[in-house]
Amino acid sequence: MAKYKLEYVWLDGYKPVANLRSKTQIKEFAEFPTLEQLPLWGFDGSSTQQAEGRSSDCVLKPVAVYPDATRNNGVLVMCEVMMPDGKTPHVSNSRATILDDPDTWFGFEQEYFLFEDGAPLGFPKDGYPAPQGPYYTGVGYSNVGSIARQIVEEHLELCLAAGINHEGINAEVAKGQWEFQIFGKGSKKCADDVWIARYLLIRLCEQYEIDVEFHCKPILEGRYRKPLDWNGSGMHCNFSTKFMREVGGKEYFEKLMAAFSKYTAEHVAVYGPDNHLRLTGHHETQSIDKFSYGIADRGASIRVPHSFVNNGYKGYLEDRRPNSAGNPYEIASRVLKTISTVPTA
Can you give the binding site for ligand ADP, defined by CB under 6 A?
Answer: 105-107, 109, 167, 181, 183, 236, 238-240, 245, 315-316, 318
* CA gap 240, 183 in Å, rounded: 11
Looking at the Cβ atoms of 77 and 317, the one nearer to ligand ADP is 317
Burial classification of residue 7, based on how many CB atoms lie within 10 Å of its CB (0-12 exposed, 13-18 middle, 19 or more buried): buried
Q: Which of residues 191-230 bind Mn ion (CB under 5 A)?
A: none
Nearest distance, CB of residue 131 and ligand ADP, angstroms: 21
- φ, ψ (nearest 5 deg) of residue 26: -100, 130
Looking at the Cβ atoms of 94 and 285, the one nearer to Mn ion is 285
Nearest distance, CB of residue 241 and ligand ADP, angstroms: 9
* CA gap 291, 261 in Å, rounded: 6
Looking at the Cβ atoms of 7 and 172, the one nearer to ligand ADP is 172
Closest residue by beta carbon to Mn ion: 236
Residue from 80, 179, 319, 330 in contact with Mn ion (CB under 5 A): 179
- List the single partner that 29 binds among Mn ion, ligand ADP, none, CB under 5 to 8 Å by kind: none
Spatial CA neighbour of 83 closest among 114, 57, 62:
57
Nearest distance, CB of residue 333 and Mn ion, angstroms: 20
With H, G, I as helix, E, B as strand and everything else as coil, classify residue 148. Answer: helix
Looking at the Cβ atoms of 143 and 240, the one nearer to ligand ADP is 240
Nearest distance, CB of residue 336 and Mn ion, angstroms: 19
Nearest distance, CB of residue 236 and Mn ion, angstroms: 4
81 forms bridges with which residues in the sheet?
60
CA angle 210/214/215 to nearest 5° reads 120
For residue 30, CA distances in Å to 3, 34, 61, 331 come to 9, 11, 22, 38
- List the single partner that 316 binds among ligand ADP, Mn ion, none, CB under 5 to 8 Å by kind: ligand ADP
How many beta carbons lie within 10 A of that of residue 310, not counting itself? 11
Are 5 and 22 in contact by the 8 Å Cβ rule? The answer is no
Looking at the Cβ atoms of 68 and 172, the one nearer to Mn ion is 172
Residue from 166, 175, 236, 321 in contact with Mn ion (CB under 5 A): 236
Cis status, amide bond into 16, omega within 30 of 0: yes
How many residues sit close enough to Mn ion to count as binding (CB under 5 A)? 3
Binding status of residue 319 toward Mn ion by CB under 5 A: no
Looking at the Cβ atoms of 137 and 311, the one nearer to Mn ion is 137
* CA gap 169, 225 in Å, rounded: 28
- List the single partner that 322 binds among ligand ADP, Mn ion, none, CB under 5 to 8 Å by kind: none
Looking at the Cβ atoms of 12 and 318, the one nearer to ligand ADP is 318
Closest residue by beta carbon to ligand ADP: 107
Spatial CA neighbour of 331 closest among 288, 282, 267, 274:
267
What residues make contact with Mn ion under the rule CB under 5 A? Answer: 109, 179, 236
